[in-house]
Amino acid sequence: MRHGPCRICLRFAMSRLPYMPSYPDHGQPDWNLTGLVQALRTSREHTHKVRHRGRLRELPSRAVLQDILHGLACAMFPTHYGETDLTDESIDYFVGNTLNRTLNALRGQLRRGLLFLSDDDAWTSEALDAKAVEVTRHVADTLPEVRALLVSDLRAAFQGDPAAHSISEILLCYPGFLAITYYRLAHVLYAQGIPLLPRLMTEIAHSKTGIDIHPGATVGHSFFIDHGTGVVIGETTIIGNHVRIYQNVTLGAKRFPANEDGSLQKGAPRHPIVEDDVVIYAGATVLGRVTIGQGSTIGGNVWLTQSVPAKSSITQAQMCRD
């Protein structure tokens, strides 16, 4: 969540806390550290244990994943997200060097993420290493394709917002574009069956933008989210091409299918299907596995839990005057 130029400092981020000089008359108090450490250990190990199968696993790092996302964005749009003074001569050196660092870091995080596979016990360490390298290569090979989709999103934003004056403005200023960029990268990992990391990646975008797109969602080309704060797009949502949505739109689940034992079915289809050329205005909430037909318009603040045919126009009941 926070950064500094030195990786060592990052890992010992607590060392950033200032040395607090003792007040002259009092000295540093005794905090009973031994007792506190013991009480927290008891909570961790016995009374309130949440450790996975009793083992410690090397965990992915949110800070490193954030750098990886930034690095991949730099490789795709080097002048806007990388260095502001690149020239035609220097740009490829920057891209190649950034890719090299980023892919090495991605490989390391993938290796950690793979420990969250439900059958991770069945893998040898070498097999996990090889899988991490294989998926890293796949991400790298997919970058031009992801960039092509993102350029379609840039053009959709430019055409869809009268306040936009240049493509650079969208690249630098539009939170929706950042959220879509991180989602599209996370979705590549999700489609490869990688656990945990894709969610961490879209959550980094959520924290920066207020836009929460689950990496499992399927999103067509030319997607535009304007303003975007409060947008939620659930795991099994399917969105077509040329769709435009505004702030505070929820594409969510209405109810959660349960297994016979009452536990929730993980991953069951439960979010909306939004067909091509749909516009959904601010604050609309669409819940359940409903279909919004091609070319429909959903008005602001509408609460919708049933399918609507193509070219529908749905608005909220009118307000009253007291």
Looking at beta carbons only, is 25 or 260 nearer to a second copy? 25
165 lies in the binding site for a second copy (CB under 8 A): yes
Binding mask 182-211 for a second copy (x = CB under 8 A): -------------xx--xx--x--xxxxx-
313 lies in the binding site for a second copy (CB under 8 A): yes
218 lies in the binding site for a second copy (CB under 8 A): no
173 lies in the binding site for a second copy (CB under 8 A): yes
The CA-CA-CA angle for residues 114, 120, 124, to 5°, reads 95
162 lies in the binding site for a second copy (CB under 8 A): yes
Is 317 in a helix, a strand, or coil? coil
Stretch that binds a second copy, among 80-88, 185-193, 237-245 (CB under 8 A): 80-88
Q: Pick one of 166, 193, 218, 311: the residue that binds a second copy (CB under 8 A).
A: 166
Chain centroid offset of residue 19 CA: 36
Tokens 């500094």, residue located: 4
Rounded Cα gap, residues 212 and 228, in angstroms: 9
* Sequence letter at residue 67: D
238 lies in the binding site for a second copy (CB under 8 A): no
Rounded Cα gap, residues 138 and 194, in angstroms: 12
Binding mask 36-65 for a second copy (x = CB under 8 A): xx-xxxxxx--xx-x-x---xxxxxxx-x-
* Sequence letter at residue 308: V
Token pair in block for residue 68: 């990886």
Site size with a second copy, rule: CB under 8 A: 167
Rg from Cα positions in the chain: 23
Stretch that binds a second copy, among 21-29, 183-191, 237-245 (CB under 8 A): 21-29
25 lies in the binding site for a second copy (CB under 8 A): yes
221 to 115, 146, 147, 302: CA distances (angstroms): 33, 10, 11, 25
256 lies in the binding site for a second copy (CB under 8 A): yes
310 lies in the binding site for a second copy (CB under 8 A): no
Q: Pick one of 156, 188, 243, 287: the residue that binds a second copy (CB under 8 A).
A: 287
Smallest distance, a second copy to C-beta of residue 120, A: 11
Rounded Cα gap, residues 74 and 64, in angstroms: 15
**Do the beta carbons of residue 211 and residue 181 sit within 8 Å?**
no
